[in-house]
Structures are given as C-alpha cells and as structure tokens.
Structure 1
C-alpha cells in the first residue's frame, strides 16, 4: 500500500469511516477535506448490484448535471458536409470524417473527452472500436452520441451532459463538480446524478441496484453517503 502524505492523513481523521453521511454533511465535509492548491474535482463512485458479466445488466447512458462539471469538455464530431458545419457552429472542438479517423487509427490521436458521430459515419468509425471502446469514447446510440442532431448533442455535452458506463466490476465513476462550486450547486448536482442513475436500473437486476456511494475530492478521502432515500425514490 502506498504511503499517504501527512496532509492526507490529517484530513482523513476528519472522516468517520463507519458513518454514512447525509448529503448535506457529505458536501460540507468533502469541501473541508479538499486542501490541495488547485481546484479539485468532486467525484462520485457508486457500487452497483449488477452482474457486469451479463449484457442485460449493463449500465450505459447519459445524465445531465444542472450546474455542469466545471470542466472544459473537448468534443469531437465525426461528420461530413452540412452536419460538420452544424457541429462547428455549435462549438465542437474537432470535426472531421475519414481523415480524422485515420489520424486516430494511425497516430493515436485521443485529445478529446467525448466523440459524437452521425449515423452514416458509423460504418467508418466502427474500425476504431478497439481504440475508442476501452476508453469509453466509442459513439453509441444508447448514450446519445450517434445522432443526426449533432448540434444539440455538442451543446449538451459542453454544458454538463455526462456519459455513464459501468466498469468491469460493475462500478460507476463520474465528476459532479469542483471544490469551488458552492454547497447548494454541489448538492443539486449530486442529488440529480444519483436520481438519474437510479432510474437507469436494468430490469434484469435482482435486489439492490445502488449498493454504496462515496464522494471524494481529487486528493481527498472517500466519504460514504446515506442513499436510502434515493434508492426508495424519495
């Protein structure tokens, strides 16, 4: 186990490892334990009750945070002609077609956070599956990143829309804001994220869906959340 810094050990003592904190308590504590010199990201980690080996229990989709993540999102769009123009006008950072696919395939270009494609481009983009797929960057109709309405998709991802996808162990990880956000904005983002993810419960899941949720700042300790009301749909 890596040795923790004195700073981390000091703030870790502020957190009761056995306690499940209310959302208000957790927000206040996560800000207090964020002592790095940069504006740390507040991250949410969720342990789900899915079986990640079963395709009918996968969790994948998008959610929108009311106050965004505080991060500048670089959006790439695979499109041609008029759709490429629409994407550029909507604020896409990178727009292209076959030449962009070649750049990713041959040069390993991956300087973007979200990839969007028009349906007609997917027969070309498909060859990038082994490159984009493991990184969670492959466009998908389910996540809203394969669409004719590229302008709306670009604007939504730029303003706080996040793609959600479980990892190999069935866990979910996502940013919910920055330490510089005020408490109310962080709370609204957190409650909204939990509620939207809870509504994405696969029908094949038996028992609890949201088993445990933890928030932390980039350099801070994990803080366990009491999510009983979220699970009950209240």
Structure 2
C-alpha cells in the first residue's frame, strides 16, 4: 500500500468522509485543498448504475465544457486538399495525410486529440494499434470523424472532452483547473452531468447516478450530495 505524504494527510483531515457536500461547497473545498506547486486539475468521478460488460450499457460520448479544461490541447487532423488547409486555418497543430501517418508510425505522438475526414479512415485504421490503446483513435460517435474539420478542431481546442465508463461503470473527466473561479467550475460540472443524464442507456435499471466525487490531481476526494446535484441548474 502506498504511503500517504504529510501534506496529503493534512488535507485529508479537512474533508468529512461521511458528509455529502453541496456542489459549491465541494468546489470551494477542493480549491482550498490544493497544495502542489503546479496547476492541478479538478476532476469528477461519476459512479453510474450500468454494467459495462454489456455493450448496450457502455456510456460514451463527448461534451463541450463552457469554460474549457484550462489545458492547451494539441490537435492533429488526417485530411488532404482543401480539408487539410481548412484544418490548419482552424488552428490544428498538424494536418496531413500519408505524411502524418508516416510521422506517427515513426514514433511521433506529441498530440492530445486526433480528427480525421471519413475518406482518410483507411489510412488511420492502419494506426489502430498505436492510437487505440492511447485513446487517440478518431471516432464518428465522438465527432472526430467528420468532414467539418474546422468545427471539430475548434470544439477540441475550446474544451470538448470525451468520456467513457471504465470497467467499474465509473466516468472520469476533467472539469477545469484549481485556479478557475467556482462559478466556472460549477458550470463545467453541470455540463458533464447533463451530458451523462442524456446519455443514459435505455437498458440501465435502478438508480442511474449512484455517486459523484470531486478531487484535485493530488488531493483527496470530496463526495457530493447526488440528490441536490441533480436538482441544480
């Protein structure tokens, strides 16, 4: 079992493990618990009442955060001709076709998201073993396989995030940085929750949102009052 650092132990004493916090209170607490010298992310973990072993209960999608993640997202686009130019004009960090595929095959992976036009998926598919395990494979369900590459690039750059249930049925997602104002973090959290509610599988039975926890990169989890959260607008 990993040993707890002194500073982590100190922050842990400030969190009531039995309490379920209201959203604003939880965000204020999370911000106050940050003790690192770097800019920590604020993350949300949502325990959903689904069984990811069944394909029709996997909750997956993307959502635009109103105030972004606070992170500079590097985007590459697989496209050619006018679409390649469109991607570059929209702010893509790198755009290309076979040349981009060769660059990645050679070991270059200095990007966070990948977009592809549908006609380039034959080229992209050959990179599945490299991109797939890293979560970088373009996917039409996430809006990253599209001819509207300008919109895809701008969405990703401005704070579009992807989410997917893990093996335990939990969604993990960033909702901003500790230096964000509480109101901005609040709106980002509510955007994620709204997306998850809309993505509820029709086959999911019983309680759908079982638990929600907020935490900073290095800090302890702060549990939210789910009933109050779901009524928050």
Task: Give, in whole Å, the separation in 2 of the partners of 1:95 and 1:13.
Answer: 49
Count of residues paired in the alignment: 233
Q: Measured at CA, do residues 231 and 24 of structure 1 come closer, stay the same or move farther in structure 2, by a change above 3 Å?
A: closer
- Over aligned residues, Cα RMSD in angstroms? 1.5
Task: Give, in whole Å, the separation in 1 of the partners of 2:220 and 2:167.
Answer: 23
Q: Which residue of 1 aligns with 2:27?
A: 27
CA drift of 1:81 comes to: 0.6
Q: Which residue of 1 aligns with 2:55?
A: 55
Task: Give, in whole Å, the separation in 2 of the partners of 1:172 and 1:112.
Answer: 23
What TM-score, normalized by structure 1, do the two folds share? 0.95
SS in 1 for 2:176: strand
Task: Give, in whole Å, the separation in 2 of the partners of 1:199 and 1:231.
Answer: 12
Please list, as runs of the form range in 1=range in 2, the aligned pairs for 1:219-234 lying within 5 A after superposition. 219-231=218-230
Q: Measured at CA, do residues 10 and 233 of structure 1 come closer, stay the same or move farther in structure 2, by a change above 3 Å?
A: closer
Q: Which residue of 1 aligns with 2:38?
A: 38
Q: Which residue of 1 aligns with 2:114?
A: 115
Task: Give, in whole Å, the separation in 1 of the partners of 2:228 and 2:198.
Answer: 13
SS in 2 for 1:63: strand
Q: Where does the alignment leave 5 or more consecutive residues of structure 1 unmatched?
A: none
CA drift of 1:12 comes to: 0.5
CA drift of 1:169 comes to: 2.5
Q: Which residue of 2 aligns with 1:170?
A: 169
Deviations 1:3-22 (A, max 9, x none): 11110000100001111111
Contact 2:22 2:229 in 1 (8 A): no
Task: Give, in whole Å, the separation in 1 of the partners of 2:101 and 2:20.
Answer: 46
SS in 1 for 2:102: helix
Task: Give, in whole Å, the separation in 2 of the partners of 1:40 and 1:122.
Answer: 36
Contact 1:136 1:165 in 2 (8 A): no
SS in 2 for 1:155: helix
Contact 1:195 1:230 in 2 (8 A): no
Task: Give, in whole Å, the separation in 2 of the partners of 1:35 and 1:98.
Answer: 45
Contact 2:70 2:176 in 1 (8 A): yes
Q: Which residue of 2 aligns with 1:135?
A: 134
Q: Measured at CA, do residues 21 and 233 of structure 1 come closer, stay the same or move farther in structure 2, by a change above 3 Å?
A: closer
SS in 2 for 1:214: strand
SS in 1 for 2:162: strand
Task: Give, in whole Å, the separation in 2 of the partners of 1:94 and 1:162.
Answer: 19
Contact 1:57 1:205 in 2 (8 A): yes
Q: Which residue of 1 aligns with 2:211?
A: 212
Mapped pair 1:3 → 2:3 = yes
SS in 1 for 2:126: helix
Task: Give, in whole Å, the separation in 1 of the partners of 2:201 and 2:169.
Answer: 12
Deviations 1:64-119 (A, max 9, x none): 111111000011111001000000000001111112122223x2322111110000
CA drift of 1:42 comes to: 0.5
SS in 1 for 2:42: strand
What TM-score, normalized by structure 2, do the two folds share? 0.95
Task: Give, in whole Å, the separation in 2 of the partners of 1:208 and 1:83.
Answer: 45
